[in-house]
Amino acid sequence: MPNISSFHPWIVFVHIIGVFVFLLAHGVSVGVMLRLRRERDPAAIRALLDLSSGTMVVMSVGFLIWFIAGVLAGFSGNYWTGRAGWWLWASLAIAIVVVGLMTPLGRFYLDRVRAAVGIDPKAKGQPAPATVDAAALEAAIMSGRPFLLTAVGVGSVVVLAWLMMFKPF
């Protein structure tokens, strides 16, 4: 019976596919956030927010594949112990910090915009209000930091790829 280390290249392959799926779905939300800065039509904003929400399942599946395969790759590559695995622990810490930063900066921002256009995520199928407070919508849209989120996201992917490829410590 083969041991887990004989499957290491395949586990890393699945891990990378999970990252791609996660980033692909995440890219939709980034595009929505960048587009919201220029959009003021409530119907168009609702459509953009619906597009972003529609990627949550794909994003979650990608994250689970990425995370589980990454943990398994740590075992199959024997990286969890010793100095040779410090890059893996650093990667895990960075991923946790980035998720902790991007959730309030991204999701809570989109939730503020949803509320401003009258979307109640708990009331599926509820008709949108006929009027929207333009000042509240403007304040909600301008409260976000899409370029900061993009920089954090891209920067973390670059650092994580560097750690995975070069295993510097």
Element at 62 (helix H, strand E): helix 56-76
- Over residues 117-128, the mean pLDDT reads 78
State mean pLDDT over 80-85.
86
> How far is the C-alpha of 104 from the C-alpha of 9, rounded, in Å?
35
Task: Give yes or no for a contact between 36 and 144, defined as CB atoms under 8 angstroms apart.
Answer: yes
Res. 125: pLDDT tops 70: no
C-alpha dihedral sign at 126, 129, 132, 133: negative
In the predicted model, what is the mean pLDDT of residues 7-23?
97
Whether this model's pTM surpasses 0.75: yes
Is residue 111 within 8 A of residue 33, CB to CB? The reply is: no
